[in-house]
Structure 1
Protein backbone atom coordinates (compact mmCIF):
# COMPACT_ATOMS: atom_id res chain seq x y z
CA UNK A 1 0.00 0.00 0.00
CA UNK A 2 1.24 3.48 -0.90
CA UNK A 3 1.23 6.07 1.85
CA UNK A 4 -0.05 9.60 1.47
CA UNK A 5 3.51 10.92 1.84
CA UNK A 6 4.72 8.62 -0.94
CA UNK A 7 1.89 9.81 -3.18
CA UNK A 8 2.71 13.44 -2.43
CA UNK A 9 6.40 12.82 -3.20
CA UNK A 10 5.45 11.21 -6.51
CA UNK A 11 3.16 14.10 -7.43
CA UNK A 12 5.75 16.70 -6.39
CA UNK A 13 8.52 15.15 -8.51
CA UNK A 14 6.98 16.24 -11.85
CA UNK A 15 9.92 14.59 -13.58
CA UNK A 16 9.92 10.86 -14.32
CA UNK A 17 13.56 11.04 -15.46
CA UNK A 18 14.93 12.61 -12.28
CA UNK A 19 16.94 9.50 -11.43
CA UNK A 20 18.36 9.31 -14.96
CA UNK A 21 19.32 12.99 -14.88
CA UNK A 22 20.94 12.59 -11.48
CA UNK A 23 22.98 9.75 -12.96
CA UNK A 24 24.42 12.10 -15.56
CA UNK A 25 22.08 13.59 -18.12
CA UNK A 26 19.47 16.09 -19.12
CA UNK A 27 19.21 19.84 -19.07
CA UNK A 28 17.30 22.19 -16.81
CA UNK A 29 16.23 24.16 -19.86
CA UNK A 30 14.70 23.43 -23.20
CA UNK A 31 16.31 25.10 -26.20
CA UNK A 32 14.01 26.48 -28.87
CA UNK A 33 14.87 26.38 -32.54
CA UNK A 34 12.82 28.46 -34.97
CA UNK A 35 13.32 27.93 -38.67
CA UNK A 36 15.62 25.48 -40.44
CA UNK A 37 18.82 24.04 -38.99
CA UNK A 38 22.00 25.98 -39.74
CA UNK A 39 23.84 25.79 -43.04
CA UNK A 40 25.85 22.66 -43.58
CA UNK A 41 23.77 20.52 -41.21
CA UNK A 42 22.46 17.26 -42.64
CA UNK A 43 18.89 17.13 -41.31
CA UNK A 44 16.56 14.20 -41.86
CA UNK A 45 13.33 16.13 -41.50
CA UNK A 46 10.28 13.85 -41.29
CA UNK A 47 11.96 10.82 -42.89
CA UNK A 48 14.89 8.76 -41.63
CA UNK A 49 18.01 8.96 -43.76
CA UNK A 50 20.30 5.93 -43.75
CA UNK A 51 22.88 5.89 -40.98
CA UNK A 52 25.61 5.77 -43.66
CA UNK A 53 24.58 9.27 -44.83
CA UNK A 54 25.05 10.61 -41.31
CA UNK A 55 28.38 8.80 -41.03
CA UNK A 56 29.55 10.30 -44.36
CA UNK A 57 28.47 13.79 -43.31
CA UNK A 58 30.37 13.43 -40.04
CA UNK A 59 33.46 12.14 -41.89
CA UNK A 60 33.32 15.36 -43.93
CA UNK A 61 33.07 17.42 -40.74
CA UNK A 62 29.34 18.20 -41.14
CA UNK A 63 27.01 17.85 -38.14
CA UNK A 64 23.65 16.16 -38.52
CA UNK A 65 20.20 15.81 -37.02
CA UNK A 66 18.60 12.39 -37.29
CA UNK A 67 14.97 11.30 -37.34
CA UNK A 68 13.81 8.24 -35.42
CA UNK A 69 10.60 6.87 -36.94
CA UNK A 70 8.28 4.99 -34.59
CA UNK A 71 4.67 3.99 -34.13
CA UNK A 72 2.47 2.24 -36.67
CA UNK A 73 4.56 0.10 -39.00
CA UNK A 74 7.79 0.45 -37.02
CA UNK A 75 8.59 -2.59 -34.85
CA UNK A 76 10.04 -1.72 -31.43
CA UNK A 77 13.17 -3.74 -32.26
CA UNK A 78 13.85 -1.58 -35.33
CA UNK A 79 13.28 1.63 -33.34
CA UNK A 80 15.63 0.41 -30.61
CA UNK A 81 18.27 -0.53 -33.20
CA UNK A 82 18.06 2.94 -34.78
CA UNK A 83 18.37 4.70 -31.41
CA UNK A 84 21.32 2.51 -30.38
CA UNK A 85 23.11 3.04 -33.71
CA UNK A 86 22.64 6.81 -33.52
CA UNK A 87 23.89 6.87 -29.92
CA UNK A 88 26.99 4.94 -30.97
CA UNK A 89 27.58 7.33 -33.88
CA UNK A 90 27.16 10.34 -31.58
CA UNK A 91 29.77 8.97 -29.18
CA UNK A 92 32.11 8.07 -32.03
CA UNK A 93 32.02 11.38 -33.96
CA UNK A 94 30.58 14.02 -31.61
CA UNK A 95 28.75 15.53 -34.60
CA UNK A 96 25.19 14.33 -34.03
CA UNK A 97 23.37 17.46 -32.84
CA UNK A 98 19.83 16.17 -32.35
CA UNK A 99 17.61 13.11 -32.56
CA UNK A 100 14.04 13.80 -33.55
CA UNK A 101 11.46 11.11 -32.78
CA UNK A 102 8.89 11.22 -35.61
CA UNK A 103 5.60 9.37 -35.07
CA UNK A 104 4.06 7.52 -38.01
CA UNK A 105 1.12 9.09 -39.81
CA UNK A 106 -1.19 6.22 -38.90
CA UNK A 107 -4.29 4.83 -40.50
CA UNK A 108 -8.02 5.14 -39.86
CA UNK A 109 -7.75 1.93 -37.78
CA UNK A 110 -4.77 3.01 -35.70
CA UNK A 111 -3.24 6.37 -34.86
CA UNK A 112 0.38 6.82 -35.85
CA UNK A 113 1.39 6.65 -32.22
CA UNK A 114 -0.10 6.69 -28.75
CA UNK A 115 0.74 9.26 -26.09
CA UNK A 116 2.56 6.80 -23.85
CA UNK A 117 4.47 5.52 -26.87
CA UNK A 118 5.53 9.08 -27.79
CA UNK A 119 6.86 9.73 -24.31
CA UNK A 120 8.53 6.32 -24.07
CA UNK A 121 10.47 6.94 -27.30
CA UNK A 122 11.54 10.39 -26.08
CA UNK A 123 12.75 8.85 -22.80
CA UNK A 124 14.58 6.06 -24.63
CA UNK A 125 16.36 8.59 -26.85
CA UNK A 126 17.38 10.69 -23.84
CA UNK A 127 18.69 7.70 -21.93
CA UNK A 128 20.67 6.41 -24.93
CA UNK A 129 22.14 9.67 -26.23
CA UNK A 130 25.11 11.59 -24.88
CA UNK A 131 24.06 14.72 -22.97
CA UNK A 132 25.12 17.09 -25.76
CA UNK A 133 22.70 15.52 -28.26
CA UNK A 134 19.32 17.29 -28.17
CA UNK A 135 16.17 15.18 -28.07
CA UNK A 136 13.54 17.02 -30.10
CA UNK A 137 9.95 15.71 -30.27
CA UNK A 138 8.01 16.45 -33.47
CA UNK A 139 6.17 19.72 -32.77
CA UNK A 140 3.64 19.55 -35.64
CA UNK A 141 2.67 15.90 -35.20
CA UNK A 142 2.54 15.86 -31.39
CA UNK A 143 1.47 19.43 -30.71
CA UNK A 144 2.74 21.90 -28.12
CA UNK A 145 1.06 20.22 -25.12
CA UNK A 146 2.65 16.81 -25.78
CA UNK A 147 6.03 18.45 -26.50
CA UNK A 148 5.69 20.27 -23.18
CA UNK A 149 5.09 17.00 -21.34
CA UNK A 150 7.96 15.40 -23.27
CA UNK A 151 10.40 17.69 -21.40
CA UNK A 152 9.68 15.68 -18.25
CA UNK A 153 10.65 12.56 -20.23
CA UNK A 154 13.95 13.96 -21.52
CA UNK A 155 13.14 16.24 -24.45
CA UNK A 156 15.68 19.04 -24.45
CA UNK A 157 14.79 20.99 -27.57
CA UNK A 158 11.69 22.14 -29.45
CA UNK A 159 11.69 23.04 -33.15
CA UNK A 160 8.80 25.49 -33.29
CA UNK A 161 7.58 26.45 -36.77
CA UNK A 162 7.94 30.14 -37.59
CA UNK A 163 4.16 30.53 -37.95
CA UNK A 164 3.43 29.02 -34.51
CA UNK A 165 2.71 31.66 -31.87
CA UNK A 166 2.74 29.34 -28.85
CA UNK A 167 4.20 30.98 -25.75
CA UNK A 168 7.12 28.56 -25.35
CA UNK A 169 8.41 30.27 -22.22
CA UNK A 170 5.09 29.67 -20.48
CA UNK A 171 5.08 26.02 -21.58
CA UNK A 172 8.60 25.48 -20.29
CA UNK A 173 7.96 27.22 -16.96
CA UNK A 174 4.89 25.02 -16.37
CA UNK A 175 7.14 21.94 -16.31
CA UNK A 176 9.92 23.57 -14.32
CA UNK A 177 12.25 24.27 -17.25
CA UNK A 178 13.80 27.42 -18.58
CA UNK A 179 14.07 28.43 -22.22
CA UNK A 180 17.23 29.17 -24.18
CA UNK A 181 17.81 29.77 -27.89
CA UNK A 182 19.09 26.79 -29.86
Structure 2
Protein backbone atom coordinates (compact mmCIF):
# COMPACT_ATOMS: atom_id res chain seq x y z
CA UNK A 1 0.00 0.00 0.00
CA UNK A 2 1.55 3.32 -1.03
CA UNK A 3 1.74 6.43 1.12
CA UNK A 4 -0.87 8.15 -1.05
CA UNK A 5 -3.67 5.58 -0.62
CA UNK A 6 -6.29 5.69 2.07
CA UNK A 7 -5.79 3.39 5.00
CA UNK A 8 -9.45 3.05 5.97
CA UNK A 9 -11.43 4.33 8.90
CA UNK A 10 -9.30 4.85 12.02
CA UNK A 11 -11.68 2.85 14.22
CA UNK A 12 -11.38 -0.16 11.89
CA UNK A 13 -7.57 -0.02 12.14
CA UNK A 14 -7.67 0.07 15.95
CA UNK A 15 -6.59 3.67 16.45
CA UNK A 16 -8.15 7.04 17.13
CA UNK A 17 -8.57 9.60 14.34
CA UNK A 18 -5.71 12.09 14.11
CA UNK A 19 -8.16 14.91 14.87
CA UNK A 20 -9.07 13.31 18.17
CA UNK A 21 -5.84 14.18 20.00
CA UNK A 22 -5.88 17.71 18.56
CA UNK A 23 -9.50 17.98 19.71
CA UNK A 24 -8.63 16.90 23.24
CA UNK A 25 -5.89 19.55 23.39
CA UNK A 26 -8.27 22.22 22.05
CA UNK A 27 -10.97 21.25 24.53
CA UNK A 28 -8.45 21.41 27.39
CA UNK A 29 -7.35 24.86 26.18
CA UNK A 30 -10.99 26.01 26.00
CA UNK A 31 -11.69 24.67 29.50
CA UNK A 32 -8.65 26.39 31.03
CA UNK A 33 -9.27 29.72 29.31
CA UNK A 34 -13.00 29.60 30.09
CA UNK A 35 -12.10 28.99 33.73
CA UNK A 36 -9.71 31.96 33.56
CA UNK A 37 -12.52 34.11 32.14
CA UNK A 38 -14.54 33.46 35.30
CA UNK A 39 -12.14 35.85 37.05
CA UNK A 40 -13.04 38.77 34.78
CA UNK A 41 -14.83 41.36 36.88
CA UNK A 42 -18.30 42.43 35.86
CA UNK A 43 -18.75 46.00 34.72
CA UNK A 44 -21.29 48.25 36.41
CA UNK A 45 -24.69 48.17 34.71
CA UNK A 46 -24.29 51.75 33.45
CA UNK A 47 -21.07 50.85 31.61
CA UNK A 48 -21.88 47.30 30.47
CA UNK A 49 -24.23 48.28 27.62
CA UNK A 50 -26.03 44.92 28.02
CA UNK A 51 -22.82 42.93 27.46
CA UNK A 52 -20.36 42.09 30.19
CA UNK A 53 -16.59 42.06 29.44
CA UNK A 54 -16.37 38.26 29.76
CA UNK A 55 -19.27 37.58 27.39
CA UNK A 56 -17.32 37.78 24.12
CA UNK A 57 -14.37 35.54 25.14
CA UNK A 58 -16.75 32.99 26.64
CA UNK A 59 -18.86 32.99 23.48
CA UNK A 60 -15.80 32.50 21.28
CA UNK A 61 -14.50 29.69 23.52
CA UNK A 62 -17.91 27.98 23.49
CA UNK A 63 -18.04 28.12 19.68
CA UNK A 64 -14.49 26.73 19.46
CA UNK A 65 -15.41 23.90 21.84
CA UNK A 66 -18.60 23.01 19.94
CA UNK A 67 -16.79 23.01 16.58
CA UNK A 68 -13.98 20.93 18.10
CA UNK A 69 -16.43 18.31 19.35
CA UNK A 70 -18.04 18.24 15.90
CA UNK A 71 -14.59 17.77 14.31
CA UNK A 72 -13.84 14.92 16.73
CA UNK A 73 -17.17 13.20 16.08
CA UNK A 74 -16.85 13.48 12.31
CA UNK A 75 -13.33 12.06 12.47
CA UNK A 76 -14.63 8.65 13.50
CA UNK A 77 -16.57 8.14 10.28
CA UNK A 78 -13.97 9.48 7.83
CA UNK A 79 -11.23 7.61 6.05
CA UNK A 80 -7.75 8.97 6.53
CA UNK A 81 -4.89 9.11 4.10
CA UNK A 82 -1.64 7.60 5.30
CA UNK A 83 0.25 10.02 7.53
CA UNK A 84 3.07 12.01 6.01
CA UNK A 85 5.62 14.25 7.63
CA UNK A 86 4.78 17.94 7.45
CA UNK A 87 6.44 20.03 4.77
CA UNK A 88 9.32 22.27 5.80
CA UNK A 89 7.33 25.41 4.92
CA UNK A 90 4.68 24.40 7.48
CA UNK A 91 7.26 24.00 10.23
CA UNK A 92 8.90 27.30 9.28
CA UNK A 93 5.51 29.06 9.33
CA UNK A 94 4.82 27.75 12.83
CA UNK A 95 8.26 28.83 14.01
CA UNK A 96 7.74 32.25 12.46
CA UNK A 97 4.39 32.65 14.25
CA UNK A 98 5.99 31.81 17.59
CA UNK A 99 8.81 34.24 16.82
CA UNK A 100 6.18 36.90 16.00
CA UNK A 101 4.57 36.49 19.42
CA UNK A 102 7.95 36.86 21.10
CA UNK A 103 8.88 39.84 18.90
CA UNK A 104 5.50 41.46 19.62
CA UNK A 105 6.40 41.65 23.31
CA UNK A 106 10.06 42.56 22.81
CA UNK A 107 10.19 44.84 19.78
CA UNK A 108 6.62 46.13 19.96
CA UNK A 109 3.62 45.60 17.75
CA UNK A 110 4.61 47.74 14.78
CA UNK A 111 8.15 46.39 14.39
CA UNK A 112 6.94 42.81 14.88
CA UNK A 113 4.20 43.20 12.26
CA UNK A 114 6.68 44.76 9.80
CA UNK A 115 9.15 41.90 10.24
CA UNK A 116 6.37 39.33 9.97
CA UNK A 117 4.99 40.93 6.78
CA UNK A 118 8.48 40.93 5.30
CA UNK A 119 9.60 37.42 6.25
CA UNK A 120 6.37 35.39 5.88
CA UNK A 121 5.97 35.93 2.10
CA UNK A 122 9.64 35.02 1.61
CA UNK A 123 9.15 31.80 3.59
CA UNK A 124 6.20 30.98 1.32
CA UNK A 125 8.32 31.48 -1.81
CA UNK A 126 7.86 35.13 -2.74
CA UNK A 127 10.97 36.73 -4.17
CA UNK A 128 12.28 39.76 -2.26
CA UNK A 129 11.27 42.90 -4.15
CA UNK A 130 10.51 46.58 -3.70
CA UNK A 131 6.76 45.74 -3.68
CA UNK A 132 7.28 43.36 -0.78
CA UNK A 133 9.20 45.99 1.20
CA UNK A 134 6.49 48.59 0.52
CA UNK A 135 3.85 46.10 1.67
CA UNK A 136 5.85 45.18 4.79
CA UNK A 137 6.11 48.86 5.74
CA UNK A 138 2.67 50.19 4.77
CA UNK A 139 0.31 47.39 5.86
CA UNK A 140 1.46 47.29 9.50
CA UNK A 141 1.54 51.08 9.60
CA UNK A 142 -2.05 51.21 8.30
CA UNK A 143 -3.13 48.64 10.91
CA UNK A 144 -1.38 50.65 13.62
CA UNK A 145 -2.94 53.95 12.51
CA UNK A 146 -6.44 52.50 12.22
CA UNK A 147 -6.47 50.61 15.49
CA UNK A 148 -4.12 52.55 17.76
CA UNK A 149 -4.63 56.10 16.56
CA UNK A 150 -8.13 55.89 15.07
CA UNK A 151 -9.91 53.45 17.37
CA UNK A 152 -7.79 53.90 20.49
CA UNK A 153 -6.87 50.20 20.80
CA UNK A 154 -3.77 49.97 22.97
CA UNK A 155 -0.73 48.27 21.48
CA UNK A 156 2.29 47.76 23.73
CA UNK A 157 4.85 50.35 22.63
CA UNK A 158 8.08 49.21 21.07
CA UNK A 159 11.05 50.56 19.20
CA UNK A 160 9.16 52.18 16.32
CA UNK A 161 6.25 53.43 18.43
CA UNK A 162 8.66 55.17 20.81
CA UNK A 163 10.35 56.79 17.81
CA UNK A 164 6.99 57.95 16.42
CA UNK A 165 5.96 59.32 19.81
CA UNK A 166 9.24 61.22 20.17
CA UNK A 167 8.79 62.83 16.74
CA UNK A 168 5.18 63.87 17.30
What TM-score range do you get, normalising by the shorter chain? under 0.3
TM-score (norm 1): 0.20
Q: Which has the higher contact order (CA 8 A, sep 6+)?
A: 1
- The structure with the greater share of residues assigned to strand is 1
Q: Tell which structure's C-alpha radius of gyration is larger.
A: 2
